[in-house]
Amino acid sequence: MVTKKYSPGLSPDSCIVVLIVFTLLVIAACAGAGCVSHPSSAPVPAVTTPPAASPGPAPVPAAPATLQPAAPLQRVIVTNADAAELLLAIGAQDQVVGISDTVKSHPVLGPRFFGVKSIGSWQTPDVETILALHPDAVISYSSYTPKNIDKITSAGIPLLLIDCYKIDTLASDTRKLGNLTGREKGAEVYIAFLEQNEALVQSRIANLTSVETPRVYFESYSDYSALTAGSGGDLLITMAGGSNIAGMLPVSSPKVNAEWVYAENPEVIVKVAASGKNESELRNIRDTIAGRTGIANTAAVRNGQVYVMSNSVTYGPRSAVGLVYIAKILHPDEFEDIHPSVILDDYAGRFVQGANVTPVFSPPLK
């Protein structure tokens, strides 16, 4: 039998205590030296599944609170053509002292802002020109901010990020512009026009069944560029009583192909084209779509339901009229007595000083 011996003066219990204390000291030392992993420093696994569908680019945070202007604004620079049109619509035209090249060359807005100084490209506006105009604020898209945004804000100029192009935010964007410029009454007049046409469409499609909801392939500017849930095009389709065949795709603005479109077999195809194209150009675009290999056998092509529409009524302040146009395409019987061109003429006379804003469709729609 082996007899266990202990160090003089230490009992077995004391040894255990010493061991525990020693262990705690080692753990503490390792933690201080970074030996112990913390949740915040643990490696993050790579994302292998597609991200959820997004309505568009994530909004950029607004300018710091110290750069918020005092309302009403008297001197405004606007790089956003849709915001420029809304400022015109609510009666704030005379408060605009600077515009981007896009606004300057716009067929409708350019003449209405004749004589207003250009500050260059909306993507990289000239900061020195902006400073020389002594603006109270610069208005830009929130989804597509200037590349030199830091130079603008560091110069002490409030940058207001307001999109003004998606139909679901037009009312709130308009009200915001009205409050900023002191044109609240003008803003409410436009909002009433917007909501009146939205209500018109909803009243006509309220009793439609799912069987009466046409399936639509809505294509953006480039070939096979689909528009998914939350996009401006998707909103028009769903609000007009249609079903967007790309609505549930897991990425924003995905590229599809003819095989996918054929498999989905849409009943209606709508493509957006840049403004400025005439009816002949849009007819050629339409014929090209209808003749694409694989798509020619879809229900939309077989039944003559392929349309090309100008972006002038797809996005921005006139999208209220675009909504009525789309609703009439999808549900001709329910909107037989409605003439979107008359609504557009009303918009032009009331909000853009009678400018010629007749959209171009192929085939033409009245």
Residue 360: the pLDDT is: 77
Give the domains, in start order, of the chain with CATH numbers: 65-182 (3.40.50.1980), 207-362 (3.40.50.1980)
Q: Given a cut of 50, is residue 17 above it in pLDDT?
A: no
- Cβ atoms of residues 303 and 363 within 8 Å: no
Q: Which of 269, 357, 347, 345 is nearest to 308 (CA)?
A: 269
Which range has the worst mean pLDDT, 49-58, 103-112, 182-191, 339-348? 49-58
Residue 67: the pLDDT is: 61
Give the residue with greater pLDDT, 301 vs 56.
301
Residue 18: the pLDDT is: 36
Q: Which two tokens stand for residue 106?
A: 């716009």
Residue 138: the pLDDT is: 95
306-310 and 268-273 as β-strands: parallel, antiparallel, unpaired? parallel
Q: Given a cut of 80, is residue 95 above it in pLDDT?
A: yes
Buried b (16+ CB within 10 A) or exposed e, 30-58: eeeeeeeeeeeeeeeeeeeeeeebebbee
| Sequence-separated (6 or more) residues with CB below 8 Å from residue 179 | 71, 187
pLDDT bin (cut points 50, 70, 90) of residue 31 is: very low
Class of residue 106 by CB neighbours under 10 A (exposed 0-12, middle 13-18, buried 19+)? buried
- Average pLDDT rounded to a whole number, residues 118-144: 93
Q: How many CA atoms lie within 13 A of 129 on its CB side?
A: 18
How many C-beta atoms surround the C-beta of residue 361 within 10 A? Answer: 23
* Torsion, CA 199, CA 200, CA 202, CA 206, rounded to 10: 130
pTM of the model: 0.79
Residue 28: the pLDDT is: 42
- Average pLDDT rounded to a whole number, residues 310-320: 93
Q: Given a cut of 80, is residue 32 above it in pLDDT?
A: no
Residue 14: the pLDDT is: 44
The Cα 211–Cα 219 span in angstroms is: 23
- Cβ atoms of residues 161 and 79 within 8 Å: no
Q: How many CA atoms lie within 13 A of 151 on its CB side?
A: 12
- Average pLDDT rounded to a whole number, residues 70-87: 93
pLDDT bin (cut points 50, 70, 90) of residue 206 is: very high
Q: Given a cut of 90, is residue 64 above it in pLDDT?
A: no
Per-residue pLDDT of 274-293, as tens digits, reads: 888 888 899 999 999 999 99
- Cβ atoms of residues 318 and 193 within 8 Å: no
Q: Given a cut of 70, is residue 177 above it in pLDDT?
A: yes
Class of residue 164 by CB neighbours under 10 A (exposed 0-12, middle 13-18, buried 19+)? buried
Q: Which of 58, 60, 119 is nearest to 84 (CA)?
A: 119
CA 319 to chain centre: 13
The Cα 121–Cα 104 span in angstroms is: 10
First-to-final CA distance of the chain: 110
CA 257 to chain centre: 24
pLDDT bin (cut points 50, 70, 90) of residue 105 is: very high
Residue 365: the pLDDT is: 73
What φ, ψ does residue 218 adopt, rounded to 5°?
A: -105, 115
- Cβ atoms of residues 236 and 326 within 8 Å: yes
Residue 88: the pLDDT is: 97
Q: Given a cut of 80, is residue 43 above it in pLDDT?
A: no
Q: Which of 123, 184, 167 is nearest to 319 (CA)?
A: 167
Q: Which two tokens stand for residue 78?
A: 């606007």
Residue 333: the pLDDT is: 95
Per-residue pLDDT of 318-360, as tens digits, reads: 999 999 999 999 999 999 999 999 999 999 999 998 888 877 7
- Average pLDDT rounded to a whole number, residues 198-214: 94
pLDDT bin (cut points 50, 70, 90) of residue 361 is: confident
Give the residue with greater pLDDT, 198 vs 47.
198
Class of residue 273 by CB neighbours under 10 A (exposed 0-12, middle 13-18, buried 19+)? buried
pLDDT bin (cut points 50, 70, 90) of residue 229 is: very high
